[in-house]
Amino acid sequence: MKKIITNVNNLKDEDITDLVRKVKILLINSKNEILLGYSHNEYQFLGGTQELNEKLIQTVNREIEEETGMKLNLSNLDPFSCAIGYYKDWPEKNRNKKIEIYYYEVKTDEKPNLNNLKLTENEKKGNFELRYIPLSNVEDELKKNAKKYGDEHGIAKEMLNLFSIYKEMSKDLNF
pLDDT band at 153, cuts 50/70/90?
confident
Residue 40's pLDDT is what?
94
pLDDT digits (tens, 9 = 90+) for 48-93: 999 999 999 999 999 999 999 999 999 989 999 999 999 999 989 9
Q: State mean pLDDT over 7-22.
A: 97
Residue 134 preceded by cis peptide, ω within 30: no
pTM, two decimals, is 0.93
Q: State mean pLDDT over 108-119.
A: 95
Report all structural domains of the chain as residue ranges with CATH numbers, in order of start. Answer: 2-134 (3.90.79.10)
φ/ψ of 2, rounded to 5, equals: -85, 125
Residue 170's pLDDT is what?
82
